[in-house]
Amino acid sequence: MPKCWTSADDWHWWNRYNVLARDNPRRPLDNFCADCVPAFKQEQVRLGRCAHPTVTFVSIIERQYDPRLMARKDVKTRAVRGVRDDET
């Protein structure tokens, strides 16, 4: 369990839901930073509990169908995703 998690129960359920949601259940999923948010990261860094303080946040792009254009378009949402610098 990473230092930024305070509850073993929350960590257990985060892993359980990710097993159900991911495309390849055999591939380990360790990027819990993807679900982080800037304010939480800042607080964890301040407390010395963030193992990945270089995480940056990028906007989530959603693909939507525009019936007027009869085409898909990318829409930048207000939601963000944490990206670790060790991701390739």
In a domain, 67, yes or no: yes
What's the pTM? 0.70
Is residue 25 in some structural domain? yes
* 20 band by pLDDT with thresholds 50, 70 and 90: confident
Comparing 6-15, 21-30, 56-65, 78-87, which segment has the lowest mean pLDDT?
Answer: 21-30
Residue 67 in 3-state DSSP?
A: coil
- For residue 2, being part of any structural domain is answered with no
Q: Considering Cα of 43, then 45, then 48, then 51, what sign does the dihedral take?
A: positive
Q: Is residue 88 part of a domain?
A: no
Per the listing, tokens 């990206």 go with 83
Q: How many domains does the chain have?
A: 1
Which two three-digit tokens encode residue 46?
A: 């301040």
Predicted local confidence at residue 88, as pLDDT: 45
What average pLDDT does this structure show over 53-59? 92
Domain for residue 30, yes or no? yes
Band the pLDDT of 26: cuts 50, 70, 90.
Answer: low
Residue 60's domain comprises 8-83
Q: Which two tokens stand for residue 86?
A: 């060790």
